A = this chain, B = another copy of it.
Amino acid sequence: MTRWLDEDEQRTWRKFMTATQLINEALDRQLQRDAGMPHTYYVILVRLSEAPGRTMRMSELATRAQSSQSRLSHAVARLEERGWVRRERCPDDRRGNFAVLTDEGYAALAAAAPGHVEEVRRTLFDVLEPQQVRELDEICSAVIHAADPNTREGERETVVRRP
């Protein structure tokens, strides 16, 4: 038997989809307009910038940037064309590749970050009470844990960070 949503759940669900979509679209528009990249690329650059030597294995970068390996591979190809990332062959495991954030890539990230953080604040944190932010945190933890119980907290995350 299908467990249909009741009226209240229905409303909440629709609002949830609306709200998350509004935020995502705002982020993508802002980054595309001001930094010429989609949000997914921004996340890749952030993750790389946090890695020791600004270098990471493709597969680990995919995990950390919440990307499929295929998506990451295509994305890195584009980022390479712009000179923001470079691939390096991995000596230990000759199947492997490192992605390396170039200085230009770092500069692009540094230039993009303030506008992006501002958008994150405008769309989310500025509109919530501190208590609501804590509640949202809990809610997201529950969702993540249910969807992917094996993932350690902090491993699958998306990012804004001061470069």
Residues of A in contact with B (beta carbons under 8 Å apart): 2-5, 8-24, 26, 43, 66, 113-114, 117-118, 120-128, 132-133, 135-148, 154, 156-162
Contacts and interface: CB of A to CB of B under 8 A. Distances in A.
Contacts of A161: 5, 10
A75 to B, nearest CB: 15
Interface of A is mostly: helix
B23 A125 contact: no
Contacts of A135: 132, 135-136, 139
Contacts of A4: 117, 162
Contacts of A138: 132
A97 to B, nearest CB: 24
Contact of A114 (B2, B13, B160): B2
B117 A2 contact: yes
Contact of A13 (B5, B66, B113, B124): B124
A140 B140 CA distance: 13
Contact of A146 (B12, B15, B66, B127): B127
